[in-house]
Amino acid sequence: MFYHHEQLIVQDYQVSRGLVRMCKEDIRRNHCRKSVSSDKDIRLAQILICLENVTKNGTKVNNECLLEMLTHRKILMEDYRLSPELVSACSDNISQLCSGVETGGRTIHCLMEHTRTRRRKDRIAPQCQRQALLKEVDVASDWTVDPVLREACSDFVSNYCKGGYQSSSRVLSCLTEHLGSLQMSSECETAVLQIQYFVQRDYKLNSDLYRECRSDAITLCHAKRSWADDPSSMDPVRAPIVLPCLYRHALPPSNSAMPKLQRGCLVEVLRMMRQRALIVQLNPEVEQACIEDLAQHCSVKTGKGEEMLCLQDRLDSLSKSCRAAVSNYTELQSAHLIMNPIILSNCEDVISKLCENDVNAVTGGDALECLIEHKNDAVMRANPKCRAAVEHQQLISLKDFHFTFRFKDACQQQVSRFCNNARTKFEVVSCLSEIVRNDALADHKPHIPRECRQQLRAQLLQQRENIDLDPTLKEACKLDISRLCKNVARGNARVLECLESRRKNLTIDCYKRVFNIERQDLMDSSTDYTLLSTCKSMMIKYCSDKDPEKVFDCLKKFKYEAGFDAQCRLVIIKRMIEQNTDYRLNPALQKDCQQDIVKFCSEAIAALKKDDPKLEGKVIRCLKTKFRERKLSSSCENQLGVILKEAALNYELNPLLTMLCNTEINQFCKSEVEEDANKGKGRVEECLKAALLKGNIKNRVCRIELVELIEEGKADIQTDPLLFRACSQDISSHCSDVSKGNSRREYLYMCRNSTSKKNDK
């Protein structure tokens, strides 16, 4: 009897005395009877939609009428049979898929569940999906109208959605944002997902979003002015276009003239984007394109954000349409961390501690850059889940340079112009790096603008930090790593440093890769991760006014200063040793000695083109020979003089001496080694020379090397820094007008003449 009475109410709103009495004036004033079907039975559903339309579009309806509307919305949600349109459109689906499920809202939720299933044969028909039931009941504006949701989620709402939200439209948002939490029951999560599947496909079903964004949607996205429209124009399978349009205006590209959303609308859009990122089903553009791929590749990945992560990991294996949808989403995700639930949930504390100064920390791409920059800080090391999430995002970004927002934004034009054939981000980085390096070597005006070069350095820095981000190096050195560095942990550039320190033992392919990295880093310090991370405080103290790419050259000048960081000094010395093994690792020497190398060392150059590691140091040895013979150009002589002077102060900077005289250094000069390393006093070289004069050096090759060192000192007094320092006061007083670069004998002769002339005066 009760069901019969409710059915009469649905068919004729006049049977409901409360609705007639409380809403009479609102129905008349808003012409709601004109909007109903021409059918003789006036359907309550149509009256309700009309009244909902009035309230959504900003017209006031009296409170008593609103209460009656809420009551009728609850009745409609309780029993699907009270919605004739639903019965008509969904009868076949109900009998086939939802038989035996009737009142209490369960049939409606059953249909919702079969709307979002990934098996096409179990999906309900489009005409059933198009039904306006959710408009009629408007669950998003008051969650209590849905009996299934109310029963499944009431305990959760009481505990986790407090703060005045219990009777408001915010409750559904609260429930959605807690999807995947351990505290939420599976029944509650299922009910929320079933409703959100529809809400995320039509902005009008989200009452807060509609209220705040109606004006922007009409102005910017050509949305209809009326909340209610013809249900036949709705197509949940393809989804309306208003939400994607609002997203574009919420997150416009950099330097875009695209109009921005009003503040209230922006807040609601960002909230909805955060919700969409949780589960692929809430993202219709990706879900529709990837329904088969999800079933094939990601059926067991059901946690928060895991489905998207699964699709991103398998990007190359996806169908064409799915790959395009996932790529578009990943590109957007890289620009806006708010769309990355895994990083957001695992890194919230880290972001608040380390990245709070980034203006666009969550809605922009700055937060991810900040997290990468601080990946090895103590705060990040204490949060391994956050660090793992960030590193996983870095690995995903290797698949396409578009997945790194700042890099793409700064370098897109140059990539199109110079690197059109590059497929992955690594290939793009390699292509652009080669152009930058060639410009620097040839002294050309840079083809790559400053903004792109800065982002390029950031990408190279990431590659240096973690070998997993440099797939070519990782593949070329796979055997060497397992043989020479198997106990070295990934990260902090440790694997790369291990390979560099064992360069002479590397296989040829690995050697070439490591050599090219060293060459690049010694040309541009801003990509040298170990140098930048170890010498951070010394850079601030001594080189704060220098460009990052010149930091190494700056720090070299201060390495023996009192209070200079010992670990930083070790890195500086190591880099200088690398430079002194091969002229190609010393950009200044390469530039100033270019003509001399062609003129005097052509045989060594021809051999070097074969990339044979055994040929290291031959060009520098050739130049040293010509230095002793006084045949070099002045610019080249000055550069080589700097190298020889540094080597005289610290024997380690003369790799050949270290190798040939290693036994003698340990035998005669052990106490001087530490002083050379820390203070650069030149004690080891002087000790070896003294041992040579005493006849203690029996090793022939060591003896020859020491004789050559003495000859170099004779060629230019400044390459014998101990003599030059001991006589500096006399030189300043008596020989200031004698030019540098003369041999010891010439210098003393010219100085004597200069002193005589001064005394005559």
Decide: 55 and 141 in contact? Cβ < 8 Å: no
DSSP state of 98: S
- CA dist 588 to 440, 514, 633, Å? 11, 20, 14
Decide: 697 and 706 in contact? Cβ < 8 Å: yes
Decide: 714 and 744 in contact? Cβ < 8 Å: yes
Instruction: Give the C-alpha separation, 17 to 170, whole Å.
Output: 31
Q: What is the pLDDT confidence band of residue 21, given thresholds at 50, 70 and 90?
A: confident
* 138-162: average pLDDT: 82
Decide: 75 and 6 in contact? Cβ < 8 Å: yes
pLDDT above 60 for 40: no
Give domain limits for the chain.
Answer: 2-199, 212-407, 727-760
Q: Is 430 left (phi over 0), alpha (psi -120 to 50) or beta?
A: alpha
Element containing residue 91 per DSSP (H, E): helix 84-97
| CA 225 to chain CA mean position, Å | 40
The pLDDT tens digits for 379-428 are 988 999 999 999 999 999 999 988 898 899 899 999 999 999 998 999 99
pLDDT score at 759: 47
| Buried/exposed code over 634-656 (b: 16+ C-beta within 10 A; e: otherwise) | eebbbbbbbbbbbbbbbbbbbbb
Decide: 5 and 82 in contact? Cβ < 8 Å: no
pLDDT above 80 for 607: no
pLDDT score at 449: 94
Spell out the residues 6+ positions from residue 308 whose beta carbon is closer than 8 angstroms to its own: 277, 280, 283, 286, 326, 329
Handedness of CA 336, 385, 311, 116 (dihedral sign): negative
331: tokens are: 């590109």
Work out the mean pLDDT of the chain and round it to a whole number.
Answer: 80
pLDDT score at 629: 86
Element containing residue 438 per DSSP (H, E): helix 425-442
Instruction: Give the C-alpha separation, 322 to 718, whole Å.
Output: 68
pLDDT score at 12: 47
Spell out the residues 6+ positions from residue 707 whose beta carbon is closer than 8 angstroms to its own: 692
173: tokens are: 């948002």
Decide: 455 and 407 in contact? Cβ < 8 Å: yes
Question: What percent of the chain lies above the pLDDT cut of 70?
Answer: 78
- CA dist 386 to 383, 548, 635, 696, Å? 6, 28, 52, 60
pLDDT score at 199: 78
Instruction: Give the C-alpha separation, 433 to 72, whole Å.
Output: 67
Q: Measuring CA to CA, which residue among 45, 253, 246 is closest to residue 136?
A: 45
Decide: 750 and 738 in contact? Cβ < 8 Å: yes
pLDDT score at 251: 75
Q: Which of 36-40, 144-148, 242-246, 330-334 has the lowest mean pLDDT?
A: 36-40
* 698-724: average pLDDT: 76
The pLDDT tens digits for 513-543 are 999 999 999 989 999 999 999 999 999 999 9
Instruction: Give the C-alpha separation, 555 to 563, whole Å.
Output: 13
Instruction: Give the C-alpha separation, 748 to 754, whole Å.
Output: 10
pLDDT above 50 for 4: no
* 448-471: average pLDDT: 93
Spell out the residues 6+ positions from residue 355 whose beta carbon is closer than 8 angstroms to its own: 361, 366, 367, 370, 371, 374
Q: Which of 153-162, 572-581, 618-627, 747-756 has the lowest mean pLDDT?
A: 747-756
Instruction: Give the C-alpha separation, 7 to 11, whole Å.
Output: 6
pLDDT above 60 for 106: yes
pLDDT score at 5: 43
| Buried/exposed code over 54-63 (b: 16+ C-beta within 10 A; e: otherwise) | bbbeeeebee
Q: Which of 14-28, 288-302, 589-603, 695-709 has the lowest mean pLDDT?
A: 14-28
Q: Measuring CA to CA, which residue among 75, 132, 128 is closest to residue 104?
A: 75
pLDDT above 60 for 746: no
Instruction: Give the C-alpha separation, 595 to 185, whole Å.
Output: 77
Query: Is the pTM above the cut of 0.95?
Result: no
Helices (H), 593-743: 594-600, 602-608, 618-628, 634-649, 655-660, 662-668, 670-679, 683-693, 700-715, 721-726, 728-734
Element containing residue 500 per DSSP (H, E): helix 494-501
DSSP per residue over 386-424, as a string? HHHHHHHHHHHHTT-GGGSHHHHHHHHHHHHHH-TT--S
- CA dist 538 to 518, 552, 556, 564, 710, Å? 21, 11, 11, 7, 35
* 320-326: average pLDDT: 93
pLDDT score at 34: 73
DSSP per residue over 305-374, as a string? THHHHHHHHTGGGS-HHHHHHHHHHHHHHHH-GGG-HHHHHHHHHHHHHHSTT-TTTTTSSHHHHHHHHT
In degrees and rounded to multiples of 5, residue 645 shows phi and psi of -65, -45
pLDDT above 80 for 340: yes
The pLDDT tens digits for 465-517 are 999 999 999 999 999 999 999 999 888 899 999 999 998 899 999 999 999 99
* 628-643: average pLDDT: 90
In degrees and rounded to multiples of 5, residue 629 shows phi and psi of -85, 0
The pLDDT tens digits for 683-708 are 898 899 999 989 999 999 999 989 88
Say what angle helices 306-313 and 384-397 make with each other, to 10 degrees: 40
Q: What is the pLDDT confidence band of residue 319, given thresholds at 50, 70 and 90?
A: very high
- CA dist 712 to 198, 640, 644, 744, Å? 83, 10, 8, 10
Place of tokens 């004998």: 745
Helix (H, G, I), strand (E, B) or coil at 105: coil
Place of tokens 């200069």: 754
Decide: 599 and 607 in contact? Cβ < 8 Å: no
Q: What is the pLDDT confidence band of residue 233, given thresholds at 50, 70 and 90?
A: very low
Decide: 655 and 577 in contact? Cβ < 8 Å: yes
Q: What is the CA radius of gyration of the chain?
A: 38
Spell out the residues 6+ positions from residue 421 whose beta carbon is closer than 8 angstroms to its own: none
Helix (H, G, I), strand (E, B) or coil at 668: helix
pLDDT score at 473: 94
pLDDT score at 736: 58
Instruction: Give the C-alpha separation, 340 to 344, whole Å.
Output: 6
Instruction: Give the C-alpha separation, 118 to 423, whole Å.
Output: 32
Instruction: Give the C-alpha separation, 513 to 479, whole Å.
Output: 14
| CA 557 to chain CA mean position, Å | 35
